[in-house]
Amino acid sequence: MKMTKKQKHWLEAGIFLILLAVSLYGLSLLFRPKNNRQDFGMDEMKANGILAEPENTIDVVALGDSECALAISPMVMWREKGIAAYNCGTAGESLYETYGYLRQALEKQKPRLVILETNVIYKECKLEDYLFAKLERLIPALRYHDRWKSLRAEDLGPVEYTWQDPYRGYMFYADIVPADVKEYMFPTSDVRYIARWGKKSLDEIVKLCREAGAELILVSTPSALNWSYPNHNGIQALANEYGLTYLDMNLLGDELGIDWKTDTKDQGDHMNCFGAEKVSRWLAGWLKDNFDVPDHRGEEAYGRWDEDLKTYEAEWESVQS
C-alpha cells in the first residue's frame, strides 16, 4: 500500500520523536552521576548524601533552603534523643526542588516525619522553573547535560552511591557576625501569601508525604533577618488549610535562648553552629515529646552514627576553644 504524503509526514514526525526520546534516555543513563560524590558530577553533595544511607534507617527528613541546612543538626538530635534524622536542605533552594529532594529521599527511606523549614515556602517560584524542574526529573539528561565536560570511564558503569556525610546533611559554620536585634516578631494580622507555583509544589509535597505515610511538620527556624509575623501568619494559614502541625521557633524567645550576638553567622540571616546546637537540641526534645520517633542509640545498625557524632563533637570542641 502506498502511503500518502500526509501519512509520510506523520511517520517522519513520529520517528523523530521516538529517536529523540531514545537518545535522551541514553544520554540520561550516561550523564547521571554514578556516585553521589562531587568528582562524579553530583551537585549538592551533602543533601545527596542521603542516597548512600542504608535503606529504611532515617526516621526524620528535614527539607528546606539554607535556613534548614544551617539550623538543624541531625548529629545533635542523635546525641540528645537518638533520633535518626537527615537534613536535605540546600542553599538557595526553591519549593519545586524541595519536592525533588523529598521524592529522592523516599526512594530508599520510609521516614516517620518530614520537617519542612518554612523559609523555602516564600522563595520565588516561577512557572518556568517549576516546569523545568519537572522536566529535569523526567529527563535527567537535562539536569546533568553539563557532564559532557567531565565524562570518564566509570560513567559507563552502574550507579553506586557510596559517600555518607558524617553530619547527615547539616552545614557546620562557626563564623559569628552578630545581629543588632532585640525583637523582630511584632504581632500583626497581616498575612504574607505564597506564590501560585510555590503553592502547587507545596500541594505535591503534602500529597507525597501522605502517600508515603510520613507526617509533614512545618518548622520555622530562627532568622531575625528573614522571618516576620506576616510570614508566620501565612504559614499558620497554610498549616490550618492542610491540617499540619506548625512550629515557629522565632516565637520561642528565652525558652530557646538564641543570642543574636553569638548564634548567627551573618547578622541574623542564618544560624551558626552555636545557634544550630540550641535549635537542634530543642527540636529533638519537642519531636520526642510530641511524635512517635524511635531512639536508635545502642542499635547495631546505627553504630556508624556514634562514630560520626565523635567527628561532629571534635569539630564542635575545636570551635569552642
Partner 1 sequence: MTSYCSLVFLGIFLPAVIAVYGICPRRLRPWVLLGASYALFWEMSGRLLVFLLFTTLSVYGAGLGLEALEKEEKKEIAELRASADLKREKRAIKKLYRGRRRVLLILGVFMELGILIVLKYSSFFAFNLNRLSELLGLSLTVHVPSFVLPIGISFYTLQAVSYLTDVYRGTIRAERLLPKLALYMVFFPQIMEGPICRYAQTAGQLWEGRPVTWKGLTRGLQRIGFGLLKKMVIADRLNPAIKEIYGNYGSYDGGIMALGMVLYTVQLYMEFSGTMDVVIGCGETFGVTLPENFQRPFLSRSISQFWHRWHITLGTWFKDYIFYPMTTSGWLSGMARKMRGRFGSRGAAVLSSGAALFAVWLGNGLWHGAGWNYIFFGLYHFAWIMFENITEPGVRRLTARYGIDRDSLPYRAMQIIRTGLIVCVGELFFRAEGLKAGFAMFGRMVAGFTLASFKDGTVLCLGLDMQDFFIAAFTLLLVAAVHFLAERGVDLRERLETGTAVIRLTACLGLALFVIVFGAYGANYIPVDPIYAGF
Question: Which residues contact partner 1 by CB under 8 A?
Answer: 5-6, 8-9, 12, 15-16, 19-20, 23-24, 27, 43, 127-128, 131-132, 135-136, 141-143, 145-146, 148-149
Q: How far is the CB of 122 from partner 1 (least distance, A)?
A: 20
**Rounded to an integer, what distance in angstroms lies between the CA atom of residue 94 and that of residue 89?**
10
Going across the sheet that includes 113-117, the strands are: 85-87, 60-63, 113-117, 215-220, 245-248
Q: How far is the CB of 51 from partner 1 (least distance, A)?
A: 18
Residue 61: helix, strand or coil by DSSP?
strand
Burial of residue 273 (CB within 10 Å: 0-12, 13-18, 19+) is buried
With contact defined as beta carbons under 8 Å apart, do 201 and 90 qualify? no
Amino acid at 36: N
Q: How far is the CB of 316 from partner 1 (least distance, A)?
A: 32
Q: How far is the CB of 197 from partner 1 (least distance, A)?
A: 11
* Closer residue to partner 1 (CB): 47 or 84: 47
* Closer residue to partner 1 (CB): 198 or 275: 198
Degrees to nearest 5, angle at CA 105 with 22 and 47 = 95
* Closer residue to partner 1 (CB): 17 or 177: 17
CB count in 10 Å sphere of residue 290: 12
* Closer residue to partner 1 (CB): 14 or 294: 14
* Closer residue to partner 1 (CB): 147 or 265: 147
With contact defined as beta carbons under 8 Å apart, do 161 and 51 qualify? yes
CB count in 10 Å sphere of residue 81: 21
Q: How far is the CB of 149 from partner 1 (least distance, A)?
A: 5
* Closer residue to partner 1 (CB): 41 or 275: 41
Handedness of CA 136, 142, 144, 146 (dihedral sign): negative
* Closer residue to partner 1 (CB): 135 or 156: 135
Q: How far is the CB of 99 from partner 1 (least distance, A)?
A: 15
Q: How far is the CB of 182 from partner 1 (least distance, A)?
A: 36
The residues near 44 (Cβ < 8 Å, ≥ 6 apart) are 90
